[in-house]
Amino acid sequence: MAATILIPATIIFFPAAMALAASMDLVTMTIPNRVCAALAIGYLVLAVALGVPFGVILVHLSCAAAVLAAMFALFSLGWIGGGDAKLAAATALWLGWGMIFDYGMSAAIYGGALTLVILLGRRFVLPTWLSRHQWIARLHDRKAGVPYGIALAAAGMMLYPHTQIWQAAASL
């Protein structure tokens, strides 16, 4: 009976939360704290329910803490947003040390591509019918940043099927 609930929850929760974070960043240029907190709590609940060993959970927590510290160093330099820092740390909790390098590289590649597309788009005049949408006008503004949460979410979702928590659900 537990597998009936845990498998769909494992398959749906992380991608849905990441899609929400990416779409919120795209539209508002912010990633709400509640999304990052839900990701962290969701991992802990599912990991315990799926029987992930406590030692593995602690190792994943250490990875998330290290990523949070590194990301807040970048935030303090003004290189990334606070929501991006928290989203990266919440994602690191799900991925763990074994996948953190791949996550960083994937996020950098996706982020670079996203940045290039946005910068290229900013070189063209925005049609009036598009400029009426505040979020599109903000993306087109040369003074605005890049919604990097999209890249972080894409990288996380790409790696998610290879995580220990996914494998724990698959073994039920």
Report the distance separating Cα 88 and Cα 100, nearest Å.
10
pLDDT score of 58 more than 90: yes
The boundaries of the domain holding residue 60 are: 2-170
Q: What is the chain's mean pLDDT, rounded?
A: 94
Residues contacting residue 153 through CB under 8 Å, at least 6 positions apart: 18, 19, 21, 22, 25, 87, 91
Tokens 């009036």 correspond to 128
Residues 162/106, Cβ–Cβ less than 8 Å = no
Question: 17: how many CB neighbours lie within 10 A of its CB?
Answer: 22
Count of domains in the chain?
1
Q: Is 96 left (phi over 0), alpha (psi -120 to 50) or beta?
A: left
How much is the pTM? 0.92
**For residue range 85-127, what is the model confidence (pLDDT) as tens digits?**
999 999 999 999 999 999 999 999 999 999 999 999 999 988 8
Report the distance separating Cα 172 and Cα 161, nearest Å.
15
In 58-86, which positions are buried (b, 16+ CB within 10 angstroms) versus exposed (e)? eebbebbeebbeebbeebeeeebbebbbb
Q: What is the mean pLDDT of residues 14-18?
A: 97
Report the distance separating Cα 36 and Cα 88, nearest Å.
9
